[in-house]
Amino acid sequence: MRHLTLIGIGTGHPDHLTRGAVGALQRASTILIPRKGTSKEDLAGVRRALVDEVVSGPVRVVEFDLPVRDEAIADYRERVDRWHAAIAAVWAQAAGGAERVAMLVWGDPSLYDSTLRIAQRMRPVPEIEVIPGITALQALTAAHAVPLNGVGEPVVITTGRQLRSRGWPPGADRVAVMLDAGGAFSAIPAEDVTIWWGANLGLPSQALDSGPLAVAGPRILATRAALRAAHGWVMDVYLLARV
């Protein structure tokens, strides 16, 4: 693989595809689509549907199974490092000798996504082109018509794991949370905190909720559990603000 185009596809809703992404998809000759195990199979389906919708010329679409992370490796960084090496090897195999390859990336490749890091593990390292995409955070703030930052304040984005283990980031008036395995907001004092929450944004199963954390929090946990029960997975993102 000599050239790799990473195409940010937004949330999967066709309205979130930029013209740049459409052009890159139409120019691609080989497109790789990862499958993340059966429970996320319909996410691979969303990617396939996007390709079908915008690409009319000849294109080779290759689906591949993402290697599973070895949870037996105790050290988190080492676990991730070995996983990335395994993924890079699978990409090379899936490309099957193609020199120019495009890959669809959820949201934007710069935000909580390892595709750029994995690409650096390939040998030789391919020339990389990034087509920016609309992030889940932008889809969230747009859906609620709410600003991401307070006036003149920094933007703080963290993970559910960090919110649980470290609490509210010092000095921040707002904090956006991604990659939450479930209800990390329950680990912080709810008093005077407002939440804007969104799950499966841009997909037919999209759910939104907002309000004082003490009141909206339990409702959100119930909606989240219902979505997981219905689909086998749920992706959510939220913004918390101290008032």
Distances (CA, A) of 53 to 26, 83, 124: 10, 32, 33
Task: Examine residue 201 and tell whether it contacts ligand SAM (CB under 6 A).
Answer: yes
- Lateral strand order in the sheet of 3-8: 60-65, 30-35, 100-105, 3-8, 127-131
Task: Examine residue 42 and tell whether it contacts ligand SAM (CB under 6 A).
Answer: no
Task: Examine residue 11 and tell whether it contacts ligand SAM (CB under 6 A).
Answer: yes
Task: Examine residue 179 and tell whether it contacts ligand SAM (CB under 6 A).
Answer: yes
x-or-dash string of contact with ligand SAM, 69-108, rule CB under 6 A: -------------------------------------xxx
Task: Examine residue 209 and tell whether it contacts ligand SAM (CB under 6 A).
Answer: no
Work out the number of other CB atoms within 10 angstroms of the CB of residue 205: 12
Task: Give the residue nearest to ligand SAM (CB).
Answer: 107
Task: Examine residue 126 and tell whether it contacts ligand SAM (CB under 6 A).
Answer: no
- 84 vs 26: CA distance, rounded Å: 28
| 236: Cβ contacts below 8 Å, ≥ 6 apart | 180, 197, 198, 199, 200, 224
Task: Examine residue 237 and tell whether it contacts ligand SAM (CB under 6 A).
Answer: yes
Question: Which residues lie near ligand SAM (CB under 6 A)?
Answer: 11, 106-108, 111-113, 135-136, 178-179, 198-203, 235-237
